[in-house]
């Protein structure tokens, strides 16, 4: 049994099932993420793991103990679970040290002092122990919230959209910092997020959810390069599906170019398929005889994201270094570099 084991778990409100038969596992010290659009059930599943929601099917085990099953639920305070919330929930009348102390007041004074010092060093705020939350930046407040949750040495840390109030750059930075802290403390954790970059920066394994169902539980690399269905392929990263026809074993004809790769099982010659093409698959090459019309462009600092159109109307994206400045209406020379061909039967829809 894994350290956290969610087995075939369903959750319902009355007759409305909002989480359907989900199974995920985490080993001790691993960080997981539940990722998906709003309303997909990720926070509901997190609340069930915390003990705030009953389950209607399956069971949830933590550290070899069953903590939730139908009609038998261990109360949240007995699970040794820490939580970090979207709004930090720091106590405004307590300074940094006393906020961290809050969950370990039962320890001896000397033990409290040692643990607070350890955590202040871990989050890099030793010199701010006497400051109050309103005197800290948002990132500093978030680190204090994490330290407070870690102080009692929980079995599991749950983070519910903890960086959503931050700007994009700070979100990524904090996600990496929190991951480092969790790894140093060997704490198992689950993050809930709708931001895939945040998930990639923090999690060992990510579960993509849709309409209460788990679509894929895998590493960020596999979600990006080896999605198991069109929804995951479309949700992770940025790309388009183009039409293709299987012409031979592992060979596909497209308007872009003949492609080779593993075709879906059962797809014989003549089978119509959809191929995922991402912006990093289409490389800019002024010397290439293959060109595409630039119909739109978006400046992204170091890069331009060009929207390209082929002769038959197929549209693609290409990410190009911004010192190659091409205007809408120009033709851009392109070459293909598709290392991981992602192919689905045409009958599958997103």
CATH code of 166's domain: 3.40.50.300
In this predicted structure, what is the pLDDT of residue 2? 93
pLDDT at 95: 96
- Tell me, yes or no, whether 199 and 312 share the same domain: no
Percent of the chain with pLDDT over 90: 80
Same domain for 32 and 161, yes or no, is: yes
pLDDT over threshold 90, residue 167: no
CA separation for the pair 148, 122 (Å, rounded): 12
Q: Is the pLDDT of residue 169 over 90?
A: no
- Please, what is the average pLDDT of the chain? 93
Are 192 and 171 within one domain?
Answer: yes
- Dihedral of CA atoms 9, 194, 164, 32 in degrees, nearest 10, equals 50
Q: b vs e for 302-325, b when ≥16 Cβ sit within 10 Å of the residue's Cβ?
A: ebbebbbebeeebebbbbbeeeee
Q: What are the tokens at 302?
A: 């170091």
pLDDT above 90: residue 248:
no
CATH number of the domain enclosing 255: 2.40.50.140
Contact (Cβ atoms closer than 8 angstroms) between residue 57 and residue 9: yes
203 and 268 within one domain? no
Domain boundary among 205, 232, 259: 232
Structural domain count, the chain: 2
Beta bridge partners, 185, equal: none
Tens digits of residue pLDDT in 33-77: 999 999 999 999 999 999 999 999 999 999 999 999 998 999 999
- Taking only the tens place, the pLDDT of each residue in 199-213 is 999 999 999 999 999
29 lies in some domain: yes
Q: Let me know if residue 28 belongs to a domain.
A: yes
Instruction: Give yes or no: residues 217 and 167 share one domain.
Output: yes
What does the pLDDT read at residue 162? 86
Residues 140 and 247 in one domain: no
> 120 in a domain, yes or no?
yes
Q: Does some domain include residue 350?
A: no
Residues 139 and 254 in one domain: no
**What whole-number distance in Å separates Cα of residue 63 and Cα of residue 75?**
15
Tell whether 21 is covered by a domain: yes
Q: Please check whether residues 11 and 117 belong to one and the same domain.
A: yes
Answer yes or no: are the C-beta atoms of 86 and 142 closer than 8 Å.
Answer: no
> Is residue 217 domain-shared with residue 244, that is, in the same domain?
no
Q: Report the C-alpha gap between 103 and 149 in whole angstroms.
A: 8
Cα-Cα-Cα-Cα dihedral sign, residues 160, 165, 168, 171: negative
Q: Does a structural domain hold residue 265?
A: yes
Final residue of a structural domain among 215, 232, 249: 232
User: What's the confidence (pLDDT) of residue 327?
Assistant: 95
What pLDDT, on a 0 to 100 scale, did the predictor assign at position 87?
79
Is 150 within a domain? Answer: yes
Across the strands, what pairs with 331? 293
Instruction: Identify the residue with better confidence: 29 or 1.
Output: 29
Q: Which domain holds residue 244?
A: 238-345
Q: Which of 232, 258, 277 is the last residue of a domain?
A: 232
Residue 266 has pLDDT above 90, yes or no: no
Same domain membership, residue 284 and residue 216: no
Is there a single domain that holds both residue 251 and residue 198? no
pLDDT digits (tens, 9 = 90+) for 271-321: 999 999 999 999 999 999 999 999 999 999 999 999 999 999 999 999 999
For residues 147 and 110, membership in a common domain is answered with yes
């Amino acid at each position: 049994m894994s350290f956290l084991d969610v087995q075939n778990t369903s959750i319902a409100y009355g007759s409305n099932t909002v989480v359907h038969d989900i199974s995920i596992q985490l080993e001790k010290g691993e960080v997981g993420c539940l990722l998906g659009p709003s309303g997909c059930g990720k926070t509901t599943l997190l609340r069930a793991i915390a003990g705030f929601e009953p389950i209607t099917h399956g069971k949830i085990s933590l550290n070899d103990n069953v903590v939730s099953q139908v009609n038998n639920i261990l109360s949240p305070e007995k699970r040794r679970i820490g939580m970090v919330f979207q709004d930090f929930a720091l106590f405004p009348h307590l300074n940094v040290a006393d906020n961290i102390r809050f969950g370990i007041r039962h320890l001896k004074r000397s033990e409290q002092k040692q643990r607070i010092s350890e955590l202040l060093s871990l989050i890099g705020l030793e010199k701010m122990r006497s400051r109050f939350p309103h005197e800290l930046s948002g990132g500093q407040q978030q680190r204090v919230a994490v330290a407070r949750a870690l102080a009692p040495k929980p079995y599991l840390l749950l983070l519910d959209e903890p960086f959503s109030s931050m700007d994009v750059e700070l979100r990524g930075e904090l996600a990496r910092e929190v991951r480092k802290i969790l790894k140093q403390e060997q704490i198992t954790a689950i993050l809930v997020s709708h931001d895939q970059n945040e998930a990639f920066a923090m999690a060992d394994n990510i579960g993509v959810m849709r309409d209460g169902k788990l679509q894929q539980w895998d590493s960020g690399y596999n979600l990006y390069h080896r999605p198991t269905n069109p929804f995951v392929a479309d949700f992770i990263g940025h790309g388009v599906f183009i039409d293709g026809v299987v012409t031979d074993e592992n060979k596909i004809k497209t308007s872009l170019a003949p492609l080779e790769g593993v075709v879906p099982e059962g797809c014989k010659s003549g089978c119509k398929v959809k191929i995922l093409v991402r912006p990093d698959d289409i490389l800019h090459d002024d010397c290439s005889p293959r060109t595409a019309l630039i119909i739109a462009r978006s400046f992204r600092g170091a890069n331009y994201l060009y929207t390209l159109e082929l002769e038959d109307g197929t549209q693609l994206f290409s990410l190009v270094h911004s010192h190659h400045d091409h205007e809408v209406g120009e033709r851009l020379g392109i070459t293909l570099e598709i290392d991981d061909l992602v192919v689905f039967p045409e009958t599958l829809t997103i």
